[in-house]
Amino acid sequence: MPFDHLLSPVRFLLDSCPAMSASTLRTLRMYEAWWEHEGQHISYAVDRAGTPHVRMFDRFGKRVDEILYITDYWRMLKEGYKAGIVWRVFEENSLLPFFLMDYVTCFYDIGVSCPYTVSISTAVPLDKYGDDEVCKRYLVPMLRRNDEVWQGATWMTEIRGGSDLGANVDTSAVQAADGHWFLTGDKYFCSNAGAEVAVVAARIDDKPGVRGLGLFLVPRVRENGELNFHLRRLKDKIATRSVPTGEIEMRNSEAYLLGAPEHGIYLILEVLNLSRVANAMGSIGLAQRAFSEALRFAQGRVAFGKPLIEQPLMRRQFEERHAEICRSFALAWEAAITLNSVHRETPPYSNRFHMTRLLIHLAKYWTAEVCVQTAKWAMEVNGGIGTLAEYPVERWLREAMIADIWEGPPHRQILDGLEVMERKSAHLMLFEHLMPFVEPEQMQEVTARMERWLLMPQDEKEANAQTEFNILAQFTADALLGRMRAEVQEQGLVARRVTER
């Protein structure tokens, strides 16, 4: 069948990224096989079991804040770490192995992807900005290849929300006379709450807004062996139950400043760049899973004398969803590739870095919406069966709604994208990047439209932002899909030539 390659995440990646190395492909196939034979069954059990609970004290009255999951959860979680979803980034000096493995993970369980994402979003800035002693103590355990691997976390959001960090971060950072830093404050949405180490946004001084923020590394355990922060409670969520999300209390918690104090907000944005690209890749992985569930049902369900997939209206819907997944993947993958080329930069950043920021906002915004709509459509294809918790389809819609909000909801991506267009002219750099793959007339039309938008009065400009961002995202995705198909075709021709020789 023409859609059957969407039943396998690795098959889809191979068709879309034909130049991946043999070792990467081998790793992805082994990882997919583990999920097919074992992991997805554990994942279903974890989703059914719901939110885990916390053992606050051990039997002797010592505070331990231990998160209690079913035993198989840890086996499922550690499989990705052992396969290299974090350590391969450092071994290969590339983010791309992470993004590819993350895609496969999200096809099966986007919740498990979250610990991997926040771990890589901890390890990368730690490697980049931590001193040798701090890296030796905290990065090395994160790169282990066995069950003793440490996890990371990224904790920015407080009770008033996460979009406006400059106004909503009250956690304070105080430097002692001996140079050590200590943090006091509460974080409200803390994914991977049981991590051994986290990167945390805190206010260094009384400067207003984002200029007073710094990025800190906060270990779970103090140097004296006591807990360095406390887990108040875990959140009971509609989905992504395979990642523990909780509330963290820091009271004079030991911390290590990463980078220069005046660069704190830039480092925070670097962390968000990583997690937003992971979210974009994961959203398409989840959309592919929802599509595959719809396809299996449509192939097997017979109505009015023939399978649903053979009925013209239904088949047209599958064709349109297939095209949208391919288009959206092209956008997400380009965000991954360009981020990989600039993520080692430090402030002040290059023009390419600012272009990458815009591309990331477009990808996160567009792919999350495609994911939600694909999961909703998959439920419709399955009809009443799709609404029942005893079958997997309703789960993917629940998961998709969280992916839409993670790392900033749609309006945040739109407004942040608008900001980098206004301040850095990132859209002009993006158009230059896309120019080889777009007809000149199309490029002129879109360029003129964006310029008209940016010249509007501020309130009118923001009111029209979603319409214009939609147009820019689809234009970018279409251009990148055209390039990706040309590259896939060229790779196929080269492969055939080699075979013929």
User: How many of the other CB atoms lie within 10 Å of CB of 380?
Assistant: 13
* CB contact at 8 A, 45 and 70: yes
Instruction: Give the pLDDT of residue 499.
Output: 38
C-alpha neighbours within 13 Å on the C-beta side of residue 93: 2
Same domain, 207 and 273: no
Same domain, 436 and 447: yes
**Alpha-carbon gap, residue 193 to 231, rounded angstroms:** 7
Residue with tokens 């791309």: 96
- Phi then psi for 348, rounded to 5 degrees? -80, 145
Instruction: Give the pLDDT of residue 416.
Output: 96
Instruction: Give the pLDDT of residue 20.
Output: 85
Burial category of 61 from C-beta neighbours within 10 Å (exposed 0-12, middle 13-18, buried 19 and up): exposed
**Alpha-carbon gap, residue 243 to 234, rounded angstroms:** 10
- Tell whether the model's pLDDT for residue 494 goes beyond 60: no
Residue range 454-483, pLDDT digits in tens: 999 999 999 999 999 999 999 999 999 999
Residue range 28-78, pLDDT digits in tens: 999 999 999 999 999 999 999 988 999 999 999 999 999 999 889 999 999
**Alpha-carbon gap, residue 381 to 379, rounded angstroms:** 5
Length of the chain: 501
Number of domains in the chain: 2
Mean pLDDT of 11-36: 93
Residue range 189-211, pLDDT digits in tens: 999 999 999 999 999 977 778 98
Looking at 13-17, 88-92, 486-490, which range is the least confident one? 486-490
**Alpha-carbon gap, residue 374 to 322, rounded angstroms:** 10
Please indicate, yes or no, whether the overall pTM of this predicted structure exceeds 0.85: yes
**Alpha-carbon gap, residue 56 to 229, rounded angstroms:** 12
> The domain that contains 438 carries what CATH number?
1.20.140.10
Mean pLDDT of 165-177: 93
Same domain, 177 and 246: yes
Same domain, 394 and 343: yes
User: How many of the other CB atoms lie within 10 Å of CB of 120?
Assistant: 25
Query: Final residue of a domain: which of 261, 296, 320?
Result: 261
Mean pLDDT of 386-391: 93
What residues contact 382, with CB distance under 8 A and at least 6 apart? Answer: 293, 294, 297, 391, 393
Residue with tokens 């990882």: 31
Same domain, 172 and 218: yes
